[in-house]
Amino acid sequence: MSYQNAHNDASTRPGMGATILIVEDEPAIATAIAQRLTSEGWRTEVARDGLSGVEAANRIKPDVVVLDVMLPGIDGLEVCRRIQAENPVPVLMLTARDDETDMLIGLGVGADDYMTKPFSMRELVARLKALLRRVDRAAQASNTSGADALITVGDVVIDRAQRRVHRGEEEIHLTPTEFELLVMLASSPKTVQTREHLLAEVWDWVDASGTRTVDSHIKALRRKLGADLIRTVHGVGYAFEPPAQ
């Protein structure tokens, strides 16, 4: 098969041939995930502890990381921080309980999505496909050139081509999902966008069961960009409203 054919396959099936790093210390779970993801046409590598996970992420530059929270050595939170510090990559975090998910969201760890064990492999695959579509979309956005690439609202400048964000003189480093969410909000300033709408547009979710994932990323954006940019409309959603200059 020629390179051209391989490229066409990739464009008709988003995420086809992607590399997924699985960081999970329970062998049965790690093996089951790896087998399922391989059968979906993805390349997989398994790391069995936190430090190996960070090392593997730096070495293989995965398209997505599936990351268990409870790991020997350094835990998933620290792994997520170290991976994101080196190279922004989407992270889907596996948690043991719903309240653990809430705790992580509160901490704003920088994961793109969360799943609580036990989960179905079908659901995991669906979430990973959504993450990979986001990566594809981000790559397309970075082909945007010229004036279209720049969004300027107040003192916030978003460069979609370079995928860089500045507030005033300061450059703000965002994860891929935080960046997508900010672009969605800033593209329609002073407009309230519902959590369900943001979830559908940014995460490709069709149901509303993940709206707290939106909340966690809003928290992260506020922590990084300042608390005064995004207004909460209680019970509805969020609006991007920088203070008047």
Candidate ranges 31-39, 61-69, 79-87, 134-142; the one touching Ca ion (CB under 5 A): 61-69
d(Cα 36, Cα 55) in Å, to the nearest integer?
23
CB of 95 to Ca ion, least distance (A): 10
Residue 95 engages Ca ion in binding (rule: CB under 5 A):
no
The residue from 34, 47, 54, 68 that contacts Ca ion (CB under 5 A) is 68
Q: Which of residues 157-176 bind Ca ion (CB under 5 A)?
A: none
Residue 52 engages Ca ion in binding (rule: CB under 5 A):
no
CB of 46 to Ca ion, least distance (A): 13
Residue that the structure tokens 């070495």 belong to: 59
Candidate ranges 48-56, 62-70, 149-157, 221-229; the one touching Ca ion (CB under 5 A): 62-70
Of the pair 24, 178, the CB lying nearest Ca ion is at 24
Residue 70 engages Ca ion in binding (rule: CB under 5 A):
yes
Tokens of 74: 């350094």
Q: 3-state class of 26 per DSSP? A: coil
Instruction: Judge whether 221 and 181 are in contact, CB under 8 Å.
Output: yes
CB of 138 to Ca ion, least distance (A): 29
Torsion of CA 50, 56, 62, 67, to 10 degrees: -10
Candidate ranges 10-18, 64-72, 113-121, 153-161; the one touching Ca ion (CB under 5 A): 64-72
For Ca ion (CB under 5 A), the number of binding residues is 3
C-alpha torsion sign, points 243, 211, 204, 22: positive
Residue 25 engages Ca ion in binding (rule: CB under 5 A):
yes
Site track 198-237 with Ca ion (rule: CB under 5 A), x = hit: ----------------------------------------
Closest alpha carbon to 66 in 82, 53, 85 = 53
Task: List strand residue ranges (DSSP E) for 43-88, in order.
Answer: 43-47, 64-68
CB of 59 to Ca ion, least distance (A): 22
CB of 52 to Ca ion, least distance (A): 13
Instruction: Judge whether 57 and 83 are in contact, CB under 8 Å.
Output: yes
Instruction: Judge whether 118 and 29 are in contact, CB under 8 Å.
Output: no
Candidate ranges 7-15, 19-27, 106-114, 141-149; the one touching Ca ion (CB under 5 A): 19-27
Buried b / exposed e over 2-39, threshold 16 CB at 10 Å, is eeeeeeeeeeeeebeebebbbbbbeeebbeebbebbee
Of the pair 26, 136, the CB lying nearest Ca ion is at 26
Binding site for Ca ion (CB under 5 A): 25, 68, 70
